[in-house]
Amino acid sequence: MHHQCDVDTSLGWRAQAASLDGVGAYSWMASRLYGATRVLEVGCGWGNGTLAMVVEGMKVIAVENDPNAVDATLSMLRSHGVRAEVAMSLGDGLDRSADVVIVNADFFHLLRGDVSFSALDAIVCWNAGTEVIAFGRRTDFAGEAEAASRRVEPLQRAAFGVAARMASGTTVHVVDRVSYRHEHRPQVVDAFSRRHAGLAAPAVNVVPGLTTAWPYRTTERVNEDEQRLQGSEPLAVTALVSTVGFVY
């Protein structure tokens, strides 16, 4: 049963990735890396984001613990003419010259190693394919952002921690997938900017003015409770919220 749940979850993420790729989401995310040339990707998933960064001229070191995702990403990248290899350690991956090196390992395990990140100038933690963080008829945006983000908080906090070990000027890019009423966009953006600033290590400056939401789907209903309260179906937006920080 547990194996079947893992398979279902994996297939769900793959479908989400394909859907997001179809609307240009990964190209948009890659465009927000501000001149990065060599990127550490926390979880490549099915490789859609990895390919988008390569298209933008970046080399990528991706860390992914799902062997099925590693195989799928490797196959997809090679089908697009990308020089892609698999490494068993981050140190080994950093020494290679391929366009993409996928390290088949757990990201948290890698943090315990004595690895230099000086050859990298960006780190991305894109949670675009995970479950949507939904905001409905709420006013405590900061509290809701914190509560809803707890499942990805350890990974995001770890990414900010690695960024603090990288060179000055390194770009940190975190993406969350959210749903909110269209008039609440400014409050949601502000809540995530503050949320990630709280997770970031002291050496990382999260820039509020660079946090933005990229809507990619509009629906007529936020949830059943809100529909009953208002007697109509309020406009809802599903968007990617992009938070950018820099190491100083």
Q: What is the pLDDT of residues 36-45, one digit of tens each?
A: 999 999 999 8
List pLDDT tens digits, range 44-86.
Answer: 989 999 999 999 999 999 999 999 999 999 999 999 999 999 9
User: Is the Cβ–Cβ distance between 154 and 181 less than 8 Å?
Assistant: no
pLDDT of residue 8: 45
Q: Residue 102 contacts by C-beta under 8 Å, 6 or more apart in sequence?
A: 44, 62, 63, 64, 70, 73, 74, 84, 85, 86, 87, 93
- Whether 245 has a pLDDT exceeding 90, the answer reads yes
Binned at pLDDT 50, 70 and 90, residue 97 comes out as confident
- Whether 7 has a pLDDT exceeding 50, the answer reads no
List pLDDT tens digits, range 198-214.
Answer: 999 889 999 989 999 99
pLDDT of residue 92: 80
Range scoring the smallest mean pLDDT among 57-61, 106-110, 126-130, 240-244 = 126-130
- Whether 4 has a pLDDT exceeding 70, the answer reads no
Mean pLDDT of the region 121-138: 79
- Whether 26 has a pLDDT exceeding 90, the answer reads yes
pLDDT of residue 74: 96
**What HEC string does the chain produce?**
CHHHHHHHHHHHHHHHHHHHHHCCHHHHHHHHHCCCCEEEEECCCCCHHHHHHHHCCCEEEEEECCHHHHHHHHHHHHHCCCCEEEECCHHHHHCCCCCEEEEECCHHHHHCCCCCCCCCCEEEEEECCCCCEECCCCCCHHHHHHHHCCCCHHHHHHHHHHHCCCCCCCEEEEEEEEEEEHHHHHHHHHHHHHHHHHHCCCCEEECHHHCEEEEEEEECCCCHHHHHHHCCCCCEEEEEEEEEEEEC
Mean pLDDT of the region 101-105: 93
Mean pLDDT of the region 23-40: 93
Nearest alpha-carbon partner for 170 in 78, 35, 42, 49: 35
Tokens coding 169: 């000027």
pLDDT of residue 119: 86
User: Is the Cβ–Cβ distance between 93 and 87 less than 8 Å?
Assistant: yes
pLDDT of residue 55: 97
Percent of the chain scoring above 90 in pLDDT = 47
List pLDDT tens digits, range 148-187.
Answer: 677 788 889 999 989 988 999 999 999 998 888 888 899 9
- Whether 231 has a pLDDT exceeding 70, the answer reads no
Mean pLDDT, the chain, rounded, equals: 84
